[in-house]
């Protein structure tokens, strides 16, 4: 088996022991608090990793796109939640085809989207469970108020081919999420509608989601690998970072600057959520700052490093955002004790629809 130090760079490795520990820890947390766990596979897009998550006790998976769900259904996954507004005849045909071969639930945030699914599912003789997406602070998709959630739930309850199955939000936060969910669940209950599932998501606040009593299910993706974002959020330690991008110093043009052999096409251009404009953590040089990138170069300020890396030296980078990194690469290498044990193909990448 090849050793990590012999691999050509840049290359994305996953420490198998760290990943296994991450999977165990999250499942144990959810189990301890009576939360169902539904990992988000957008992070790895790799059925073999999803299988490990199910074997650890996850109840099903979350896919962000139909393309991901189709790949995972092909691989035998049979309980899939798609927290995304699916619109248009092509997507609805794919949704009903998927619903014929596995349990699939979908989130919606408006009546037109629910009605589209209703018509397609009813015509196919199916009943698709729908969760209502609630914007509990993120400012992205989702109904804006508990009253809007109630109106949409009543509409879903009224039309054929769909079933009101609960609420979802992303990301769960501890400030504005609890009052929204409490009011929505109360309004629904008063109207005779049960939110059978209340699904929250996101890795950064993971370890406190049990403090929100309405939440019945947790979704998380990043936790499986961790990254510089979860490091910065304090959700994970360096020892819990399984995704490590091996890179080589290809230039030392000045005393302060080192250039690594990968940029936005290797590490993605995602900024750190909690600190501006840095692009990854260099494990061997904690004082180094990746301050810029282009497509195939990362610019590193090494002025604060006592010892400075030389041309040809290899370093290990914890990327800002592991989900967008996996999406850029054809393969992930599983390593254990410095040896390459396996290669996974990132099967659901490149499928943006």
Footprint on this chain of a second copy (rule: CB under 8 A):
8-11, 42, 64-65, 84-85, 87-88, 90-91, 109-110, 112-113, 116, 135, 139-144, 248, 250-254, 257, 259, 261-262, 264-266, 268-271, 294-297, 299, 311-312, 323-324, 327-330, 349-353
Task: Decide whether 54 or 259 has the Cβ nearer to a second copy.
Answer: 259
262 to 247, 295, 298, 316: CA distances (angstroms):
7, 7, 6, 12
What is the β-pairing status of strands 103-108 and 79-82? Answer: parallel
- Between 38 and 56, name the residue whose CB sits nearer to a second copy: 38
Q: Reduced to 3 states, what is the DSSP secondary structure of residue 158?
A: helix
User: Whose Cβ is closer to a second copy: residue 198's or residue 300's?
Assistant: 300
CB of 143 to a second copy, least distance (A): 7
Q: How far is CA 105 from the centre of its chain?
A: 17
Cβ atoms of residues 131 and 171 within 8 Å: no
Contact 132, 152 (CB under 8 A): yes
Please state the closest distance from residue 176 (CB atom) to a second copy, in A. Answer: 15
User: From the CB of 68, what's the least distance to a second copy, in Å?
Assistant: 10
**29 or 204: whose CB is closer to a second copy?**
204
User: Least distance (Å) from a second copy to the CB of residue 126?
Assistant: 20
Contact 65, 85 (CB under 8 A): no
Cβ distance to a second copy smaller for residue 27 or 222: 222
CB of 74 to a second copy, least distance (A): 17
Nearer to a second copy, 125 or 312 (CB): 312
Cβ-based nearer residue to a second copy, 35 or 290: 290
CA distance 340 to 215: 39
- Closest separation in Å from C-beta 338 to a second copy: 18
User: Minimum CB separation from a second copy for residue 345, in Å?
Assistant: 10
Which structure tokens are listed for 71?
């790949």
CA triplet 80, 82, 83: central angle to 5 degrees? 140
- Three-state DSSP class for 14? strand
- Residue 271 C-beta: closest distance to a second copy, Å: 7
Residue (of 178, 186, 193, 38) closest to 105 by Cα position: 38
Q: In sequence order, which residues have a C-beta less than 8 Å from that of residue 172 and are 6 or more positions away?
A: 136, 200, 201, 202, 205, 209, 212, 215, 218
Type and span of the H or E element at 227: none
Q: What's the closest the beta carbon of residue 224 comes to a second copy, in angstroms?
A: 15
Residues 119, 120, 122, 127, CA torsion sign: negative
Burial category of 68 from C-beta neighbours within 10 Å (exposed 0-12, middle 13-18, buried 19 and up)? buried
CA 74 to chain centroid, in Å, comes to 20
Residue number, 56 or 132, with CB nearest to a second copy: 132
Nearer to a second copy, 85 or 177 (CB): 85
CA distance 266 to 247: 10
């Amino acid at each position: 088996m090849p050793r990590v130090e012999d691999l050509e760079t840049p290359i994305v490795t996953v420490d198998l022991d760290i990943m296994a520990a991450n999977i165990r820890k999250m499942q144990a947390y959810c189990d301890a608090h009576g939360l169902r766990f539904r990992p988000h596979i957008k992070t790895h897009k790799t059925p073999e990793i999803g299988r490990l998550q199910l074997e650890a006790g996850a109840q099903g998976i979350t896919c962000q796109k139909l393309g991901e769900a189709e790949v995972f259904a092909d691989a035998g996954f049979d309980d899939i939640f798609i927290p995304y507004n699916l619109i248009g005849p092509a997507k609805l045909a794919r949704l009903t085809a998927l619903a014929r071969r596995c349990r699939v639930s979908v989130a919606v945030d408006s009546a037109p989207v629910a009605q589209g699914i209703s018509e397609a599912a009813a015509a196919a003789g199916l009943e698709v469970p729908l969760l209502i997406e609630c914007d509990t602070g993120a400012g992205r998709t989702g109904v804006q108020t508990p009253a809007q959630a109630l109106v949409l739930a009543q509409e879903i309850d009224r039309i054929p081919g769909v079933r009101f199955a609960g609420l979802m939000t992303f990301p769960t936060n501890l400030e504005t999420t609890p009052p929204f969910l409490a009011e929505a669940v109360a309004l629904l209950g008063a109207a005779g509608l049960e939110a059978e599932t209340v699904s929250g998501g996101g890795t950064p606040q993971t370890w406190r989601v049990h403090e929100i009593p309405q939440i019945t299910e947790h979704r998380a993706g990043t936790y499986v690998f961790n990254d510089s974002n979860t490091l910065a959020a304090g959700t994970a330690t360096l020892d819990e970072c399984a995704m490590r991008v091996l890179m080589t110093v290809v230039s030392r043009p000045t005393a302060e600057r080192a250039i690594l052999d990968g940029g936005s096409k290797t590490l993605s251009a995602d900024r750190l959520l909690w600190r501006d404009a840095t692009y990854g953590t260099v494990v061997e040089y904690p004082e180094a700052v990746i301050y810029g990138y282009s497509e195939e170069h990362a610019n590193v300020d090494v002025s604060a490093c006592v010892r400075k890396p030389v041309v040809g030296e290899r370093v290990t980078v914890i990327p800002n955002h592991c989900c967008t990194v996996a999406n850029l690469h054809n393969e992930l290498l599983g390593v254990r004790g410095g040896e390459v044990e396996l290669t996974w193909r990132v099967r659901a990448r490149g499928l943006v629809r």
